[in-house]
Amino acid sequence: MLVFFGQKSYKHMLKVYTNTSLLTEENRSYVFPLLFDLHFTQNKYLSDIYVIVEDANSADIFISPLEYTYALKFYKREVIDIHNKAKSLKKNLWVYSGGDFGFSLKDKTIYNFRLSGFHSKLNERTIIMPSFINDPYKAHLNSSFKTLDKVDSPKIGFVGHANTGAKKYFKELLSYIKSNVKRILFKEKKDYQSFYPSSIKRASYLNALSKSKALKSNFILRKSYRAGVRTAKEKLLTTNEFYNNLYTNPYTFCLRGAGNFSVRFYETLAVGRIPILINTDCRLPLSGVIDWNQHSLIIDESEDDRMVEKIIEFHNKLDDKAFTQLQESNRLLWKNYLNREAFFKVVHDSFKNKLK
């Protein structure tokens, strides 16, 4: 359980040095997530364990204030300056690389915060962040958390973008080519990754699941992202449909999108349900703290031909009590580790220990 401190104690705080002049309204969308909470929203909980200091010498860590690719484009001198200053004072520098792809710097004094990447290619100083979402029970669902009872057949839900056909394939291929041309021509700082038509892959997996008589599938497939909605009313309806599907099904199928991560994975945990994740060489957050196999069914992509078999095997190993406890455990996991405040509390504790 997370502890909320009543008074500030600098003994327990991480002292942060950053270039506060770049924390402007103009740059608001690109600010390092922790700094957003400390500077813009002045989050009380995080402000009790982190403090921004003006004296660089007294800082425990340096944070590059803006998303790395954006900052290099518009504030290259400032990026170089804070990097050099951290090096000269022998301080660790935290860098945020956002977007679907991300990028990890190889400097041994830099910790890279990003949403995704390929585990086998990431260095040990890359910290994967969860996708930060609002609590579904406060933002979207009209009921409080409760567990679902176990039934004989695994009941799997999914609402989202999944489409097949040659037209869709070439559309995704064109998007992939454009992205790589931009990466090369404009020297964008994001990792290369091979072509992965996620919508087509997703449709293929869901088709295999829906054909199995041993499973109960509850799928709503969209031909485009968010069903191509345009109005606020349509957006609300599709969002409610999405979260109601998560809520009423104990399992939800999760697969990467353009980037090698699944937002749906975290949304499932937040609702207190069980993700079925196809592992495409993913690195999940806080893997040194969380045993992810205790909270989800992770199926390696190389074994996807046994997907249905593995789901049935996983389901049958859980008795009624364990099935209920897993849902409760997943809801607590999100509350205590994967929402924004909780995640940066764990990071705080980890870096505090490094400083001892």
| Full residue range of the structural domain in which residue 317 is found | 136-163+197-338
Answer yes or no: do 293 and 144 share one domain: yes
In a domain? residue 185: no
Q: Using the CB atoms, write b or e for 44-53: b if 16+ within 10 Å.
A: ebbbbbbbbb
Answer whether 295's CB lies under 8 Å from 314's CB. no
Residues 125 and 270 in one domain: no
Q: Are residues 289 and 142 in the same domain?
A: yes
Residue 284 region, left (φ>0) first, then alpha (ψ -120 to 50), else beta? Answer: beta
Q: What is the pTM of this model?
A: 0.92
Is the residue at 243 inside a domain?
Answer: yes
- Number of domains, the chain: 2
Other C-beta atoms within 10 Å of 165: how many?
11
Cβ pair 249, 220 in contact under 8 A: no
Whether residues 106 and 144 fall in one domain: no
**Nearest CA-CA partner of 276 in 295, 248, 291:** 295
Question: Pairing between strand 61-63 and 50-52?
Answer: unpaired
Contact between residue 195 and residue 176 where contact means Cβ atoms under 8 Å apart: yes
The whole-number mean pLDDT for each consecutive block of 10 residues of the chain, a chain of 356 residues, reads 38 93 98 98 96 97 97 96 97 95 91 96 96 97 96 98 85 84 74 86 96 97 70 88 98 96 98 99 96 98 98 98 99 98 97 85
Q: Does 247 share its domain with 225? A: yes
220 and 314 share one domain: yes
152: which DSSP letter?
S
Tell me: do 59 and 142 sit in the same domain: no
In a domain, residue 322? The reply is: yes
DSSP state of 250: S
For residues 149 and 296, membership in a common domain is answered with yes
Q: What is the pLDDT of residues 120-176, one digit of tens each?
A: 999 999 999 999 999 999 999 999 999 999 999 999 999 998 988 888 888 888 888
Task: Specify the pLDDT at position 180.
Answer: 77
| Residue at 45 is within a domain | yes
Question: Do 146 and 205 sit in the same domain of this protein?
Answer: yes
pLDDT at residue number 229: 67
Q: Are 16 and 50 within 8 A, CB to CB?
A: yes
Here the contacts of 117-123 (C-beta below 8 Å, separation 24 or greater) are 117/191, 117/260, 117/283, 118/191, 118/193, 118/260, 118/281, 118/282, 118/283, 119/281, 119/282, 119/283, 120/281, 121/191, 121/281, 122/283
Of 349, 346, 341, nearest to 13 by C-alpha is 349
Same structural domain, 206 and 105: no
Dihedral sign computed on CA atoms, order 23, 27, 33, 38 = positive
Residue 66, classed as helix, strand or coil, is strand
The answer to whether position 2 is within a domain reads no
Do 35 and 91 fall within a single domain? yes
pLDDT at res. 2: 32
* Exposed e or buried b per residue across 298-314, where buried means at least 16 C-beta atoms within 10 angstroms of its C-beta: bbeeeebeebbebbeeb
| Strand ranges, E, within the chain | 14-17, 50-52, 61-63, 92-97, 110-114, 126-128, 155-161, 216-222, 251-254, 274-279, 297-300
- Report the CATH number at residue 321: 3.40.50.2000
Spatial separation of the C-alpha atoms in residues 94 and 109, rounded to whole Å:
9
User: In terms of domains, do 211 and 228 share one?
Assistant: yes
Beta-bridge partner residues of 297: 276
In the numeric block, which tokens belong to residue 188? 């964008």
Q: Is residue 182 part of a domain?
A: no
